[in-house]
A and B are shown apart, each in its own frame.
Chain A
Amino acid sequence: MLSQPLIVARKEIQDHLRDTRSVISSLFYALMGPMVVGMVSIATRGQKASEVLFSMMAVFALVAGFVGGMNVAIDAIAGERERRSLLPLLMNPLLRRDVIIGKWLAISLFAVAGLVLNLLGFALVVSFSPARLLIVAFTLIPLALFAAALELLISTSCHNIKEAHTYLSLIIFVPMGIGMFLVFFPHMARAWMFLPVAGQQLLIELVAKGGQLSLLSFSLLTVTTLAFAAATLAIAAHLLQRDDVVYGG
């Protein structure tokens, strides 16, 4: 017998895989980056070009980690509330924390799958070394887990699918905005290097320029990112205890 979070996660995965429109849209997002960078790579040569292509790849991979689980997240709580199935779910003898963990596991699976598919696409179209791609994957997987938690929190606080879609669409601008900020204020990099999103961007930038990766920095960043994910899930579970969140809208 599976534990309750795993039962919730399995149902979410089964349910979402049948949503053809959403699966195709996730696939499109995951493969868009490799297609664009593949086309640019044909027209670009030289060492500097490789660095530019790698940076482009990193931005697409980062966004892929954020986008992969988005449709699942929208449906996870806001969708349940809109179709009036949240209350019947909460009538079961299960902790609301377990509902959140189960749904987060499902969103995370799609987020990580989107990221991995994206990187596999890059491996096929651009000749980056597998070692560098693996570093990017291991750097971004914890970030995808944090993104899944953040998306679930937003879905929990939204009343319906439309509202969740609006706010979650904006979340793509978080990695882009932080990236731009660091370009204009590079002196902030040191202070932000252990924070989710900014830390991963700085680390990948270092790899792009051929710098030496510190295992300590990498581990610290992974731990802080996972801690942020855990805190975000705790807030979502707390929100799901509130009457206005369960019945509102």
Chain B
Amino acid sequence: MIQTTHLQKSFGAVQAVQDLSFNAPDGAITGLLGSNGAGKTTTLRMICGVLQPDRGSVRIDNVAPSSDPRLLQSRVGALLDHIGIYPRLTTRENLNYFGELRGIPRGQLAKRVDQVLSQLGLEAIADRRTAGFSQGERMKTALARAILHSPQNLLLDEPGNGLDVPSVRAVRLLLRQMRDSGMCIVLSSHILDEVRILCDHVAVVSGGRIVAQGAPGDLCRETASASLEDAYMKLTNNQENLECSASL
């Protein structure tokens, strides 16, 4: 379970996240929906402990917020916009490295790596160096790295990017299986179809704030919209209009 409370983060004069609070429960896929620059990636980076918020807090699995980001990091797996893998290492070696850094005992690690490779259909390229991998193969290797330590919470930033249709379907199936096993999954996207198909719960982000949250159907009903796209446009336009009025 992930709970953010009044998160704020600025980079110089740019306020990326202004006052962002949302809950992502266990056993559900929560979508952070917003346009480019809305603050989704910054929020995910704060949740996974690589960025420290200026104000506000992140609570994961009811563990009290702490200044030591390792407490959060041990409970979260993440596939964010940086998916770099080591080109001179094989897929298996890449995974072994991160498994060791996560403290998975050596005996269990080999088994777990095999399991994850099989889950993502990476067996055929398990012992190939990753230099020259296609974007889809790189994405799947990075996703394998994110779920290697069997985290209770998984963060995904635009997970469909660069994947072909069969891979997108395979990843969706995997995410649903993980959700059904009780994991908390948060994914950010600006692709409405992806959010509509996958997410049980949606938080709409605009200008660094949550402007609405609820089930996709509820958002449509509340805004009297026929589709999630219409609902999203109404919610974000309203927010932008409010910001314009405030600045006048």
Contacts and interface: CB of A to CB of B under 8 A. Distances in A.
Interface of A: 1-2, 4, 7-8, 11, 14-15, 18-19, 80, 83-95, 243-244, 246
Contact of B89 (A2, A15, A90, A243): A15
Contacts of B49: 91, 93
B51 A243 contact: yes
A15 B96 CA distance: 13
Contacts of B48: 91
Given A87-B50, A88-B145, A93 B102 contact: yes
Given A7-B101, A90-B50, A92-B101, A15 B70 contact: no
10 closest A-B pairs by CB: A85-B84, A84-B84, A93-B70, A87-B82, A84-B82, A93-B73, A18-B88, A92-B101, A83-B84, A93-B74
19 contacts: A1-B100, A1-B105, A1-B106, A11-B86, A14-B93, A18-B88, A80-B84, A83-B87, A85-B85, A86-B82, A86-B84, A88-B80, A88-B85, A91-B49, A92-B73, A92-B101, A93-B73, A95-B70, A243-B11
B8 to A, nearest CB: 14
Given A7-B100, A91-B73, A85 B86 contact: yes
Interface of B: 11, 45, 48-51, 69-71, 73-74, 76, 78, 80, 82-89, 93, 97-98, 100-103, 105-106, 129, 142, 145
A85 B86 CA distance: 7
A80 B84 CA distance: 8
A171 B77 CA distance: 39
Nearest to A92: B101
Contacts of A11: 86, 89, 97
Nearest to B79: A88
Nearest to B12: A244
Contacts of B85: 85, 88
Nearest to B83: A84
If over half of A's interface residues share one DSSP class (helix, strand or loop), that class is named, otherwise mixed; here it is: helix
B50 A91 contact: yes
B100 A2 contact: yes
B113 to A, nearest CB: 15
A35 B60 CA distance: 61
A89 B142 CA distance: 11
Nearest to B84: A85
B83 A246 contact: no
A94 B74 CA distance: 9
A85 B88 CA distance: 13
Contacts of A80: 84
Nearest to A94: B101
Contacts of B73: 91-93
Contacts of B78: 91
A89 B82 CA distance: 10
A184 to B, nearest CB: 45
* Highest count of chain B CB atoms <10 Å: which of A86, A88, A243, A244: A88
Contacts of B106: 1
A8 B98 CA distance: 10
A2 to B, nearest CB: 7
Contacts of B87: 83
Contact of A87 (B71, B80, B97): B80
B148 to A, nearest CB: 10
B75 to A, nearest CB: 9
Given A90-B50, A243-B51, A15 B88 contact: yes
A88 B83 contact: yes
A141 to B, nearest CB: 28
Contacts of A84: 82-84
Contacts of A88: 80, 82-85, 98, 142, 145
Nearest to B71: A93
A15 B86 contact: yes
B135 to A, nearest CB: 13
A24 B226 CA distance: 65
Contacts of B86: 11, 15, 83, 85
Nearest to B89: A15
A91 B48 CA distance: 7
Contacts of B76: 91
A85 B198 CA distance: 27
B84 A1 contact: no
Contacts of B69: 93
A4 B99 CA distance: 11
Contacts of A2: 100
Contacts of B105: 1
* Highest count of chain B CB atoms <10 Å: which of A7, A85, A86, A93: A93
